[in-house]
Amino acid sequence: ETGVTQTPRHLVMGMTNKKSLKCEQHLGHNAMYWYKQSAKKPLELMFVYSLEERVENNSVPSRFSPECPNSSHLFLHLHTLQPEDSALYLCASSQEVESLLASQFFGPGTRLTVL
């Protein structure tokens, strides 16, 4: 238990569906992150939020839309996804965006399958 929870843990959706992934951290951190991990590919950073403001968008397609309503919650809204978007989506948090890597705590991830 890392203090970062993600729901749902598994999601199957069609290409025309709209769904959202939720992340919540109970650590009092100010920075939150979304990562994508595809099969047989390295972990990829998608978005970085600091105090509810986005500080990094790592060339992510617009069909992925993040939202950070407060420092404890992070959402990833999904629409018109492609099968190649099937992956494990991981959320992480850290005290500050300037923190050393050691202080990043990852959630368990959401396994997304796009049909």
In whole angstroms, the minimum distance from the beta carbon of 100 to another protein comes to 6
The residue from 29, 74, 109, 112 that contacts another protein (CB under 8 A) is: 109
- Residue 39 binds another protein, judged by CB under 8 A: no
Please, what sign has the CA dihedral across residues 67, 103, 26, 114? positive
In whole angstroms, the minimum distance from the beta carbon of 80 to another protein comes to 26
In whole angstroms, the minimum distance from the beta carbon of 73 to another protein comes to 17
Cα gap 94→60, rounded to integer Å = 21
Binding region for another protein (CB under 8 A) out of 14-22, 65-73, 78-86, 106-114: 106-114
Distance of CA 92 to the CA centre of its chain: 7
What are φ and ψ of residue 84, in 5° steps? -70, -5
The token pair at 49 is 């939020």
Among residues 10 and 16, whose Cβ is nearest to another protein?
Answer: 10
18, 22, 23, 102 from 75: Cα distances, Å: 13, 5, 6, 23
- Residue 45 binds another protein, judged by CB under 8 A: yes
- Residue 52 binds another protein, judged by CB under 8 A: no
- Residue 107 binds another protein, judged by CB under 8 A: yes
